[in-house]
């Protein structure tokens, strides 16, 4: 940190100790870092470019935050949802609301509960623009049929964005690729291991991460694999 401060000063950039935070992983001891004899605050979560970073590595709080922000935006546009043009409302929903909910989704590691939250949010949006109250007790499938949709779209968009980001990372030699393919020395703790970011990739594509990395070198072939993994399939 002292080196960061030194090089920053050479560029006429001052390091503010009160605005600089320290975050340790959940399995490492708390560290004490000083700048000019002033201790930096140690935090368990931090907001970086609109995304929540947690010390324990969990992404669920960030997903819930994004959905809450998108829901607030959805409610603030109530006058637009009173329009009689459903195609217009769908275009506004996809261009103004869904991007708010999926901001930074390329870094998400989705659990079953997270997927359920995302699906529930999407259906809430559709009911809002169709002005269907929850007391109507209409099944989700009937709402999709009214909109002329075969399946939900939001989770499909998230899958496409994450798979495309994976392909971009493995095609270049950069820090992101090093973090993705690197291994940490030591033994993991007891208990069930957490779901990894790469498990989404292998589950969605249907083959191992190594095979996906090799396929990603062929842009056209990888693009076809992403399309196949996210395209609608008729139920058996």
Range of the domain at 32: 2-43
Are both 107 and 134 inside the same structural domain?
A: yes
Q: Mean pLDDT across the chain, nearest whole number? A: 84
Does a structural domain hold residue 95?
yes
pLDDT one-digit tens code per residue, 181-230: 777 777 777 788 888 888 888 989 888 888 888 888 888 988 998 888 88
Contact 42, 31 (CB under 8 A): yes
- Mean pLDDT in residue range 40-67: 82
- Mean pLDDT in residue range 11-33: 73
Are both 77 and 121 inside the same structural domain?
A: yes
Band (pLDDT 50/70/90 cuts) for residue 156 is: very high
Examine the pLDDT at 121 and tell me if it is beyond 90: yes
Examine the pLDDT at 235 and tell me if it is beyond 60: no
Examine the pLDDT at 234 and tell me if it is beyond 70: no
Q: What is the DSSP letter of 57?
A: -
Band (pLDDT 50/70/90 cuts) for residue 1 is: low
Q: What is the DSSP string of 98-122?
A: HHHHTTTGGG----HHHHHHHHHHH
- Mean pLDDT in residue range 162-187: 81
Are both 32 and 14 inside the same structural domain?
A: yes
Total count of domains within the chain: 3
pLDDT of residue 68: 94
Identify which has the larger pLDDT, 41 or 62: 62
Are both 168 and 142 inside the same structural domain?
A: no
CA distance 156 to 10: 47
Are both 200 and 170 inside the same structural domain?
A: yes
Are both 170 and 122 inside the same structural domain?
A: no
Does a structural domain hold residue 51?
no
pLDDT of residue 101: 92
pLDDT of residue 150: 87
- 10 Å Cβ neighbour count for 235? 5
Examine the pLDDT at 12 and tell me if it is beyond 70: yes
pLDDT one-digit tens code per residue, 69-106: 999 999 998 898 888 888 999 999 999 999 999 998 88
pLDDT of residue 6: 75
Does a structural domain hold residue 112?
yes
Contacts 24+ apart (CB under 8 A), 60-63: 60/111, 60/113, 60/114, 62/104, 62/108, 63/108, 63/114, 63/117, 63/118
User: pTM for the full model?
Assistant: 0.81
CA distance 99 to 92: 11
Extract the tokens encoding 4.
Answer: 């960061």
Give me the percent of the chain exceeding a pLDDT of 70.
94
Are both 99 and 144 inside the same structural domain?
A: yes
Extract the tokens encoding 50.
Answer: 């609109």
């Amino acid at each position: 940190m002292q080196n960061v401060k030194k090089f920053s000063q050479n560029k006429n950039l001052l390091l503010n100790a009160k605005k600089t935070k320290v975050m340790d992983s959940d399995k490492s001891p708390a560290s004490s870092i000083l700048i000019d004899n002033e201790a930096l605050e140690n935090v368990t979560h931090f907001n970086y470019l609109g995304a929540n970073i947690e010390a324990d590595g969990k992404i669920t709080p960030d997903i819930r935050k994004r959905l809450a922000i998108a829901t607030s935006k959805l409610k603030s546009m109530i006058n637009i949802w009173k329009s009689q043009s459903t195609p217009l409302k769908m275009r506004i929903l996809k261009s103004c609301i869904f991007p708010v909910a999926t901001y930074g989704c390329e870094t998400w590691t989705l659990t079953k509960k997270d997927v359920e939250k995302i699906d529930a949010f999407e259906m809430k949006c559709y009911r809002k623009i169709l002005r269907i109250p929850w007391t109507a007790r209409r099944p989700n499938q009937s709402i999709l049929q009214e909109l002329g949709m075969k399946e939900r779209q939001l989770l499909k968009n998230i899958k496409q964005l994450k798979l495309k980001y994976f392909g971009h990372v493995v095609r270049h030699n950069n820090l992101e690729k090093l973090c993705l393919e690197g291994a940490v020395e030591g033994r993991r703790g007891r208990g069930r291991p957490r779901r990894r970011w790469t498990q989404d990739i292998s589950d969605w594509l249907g083959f191992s991460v190594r095979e996906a990395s090799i396929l990603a070198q062929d842009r056209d072939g990888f693009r076809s694999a992403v399309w196949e993994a996210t395209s609608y399939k008729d139920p058996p």
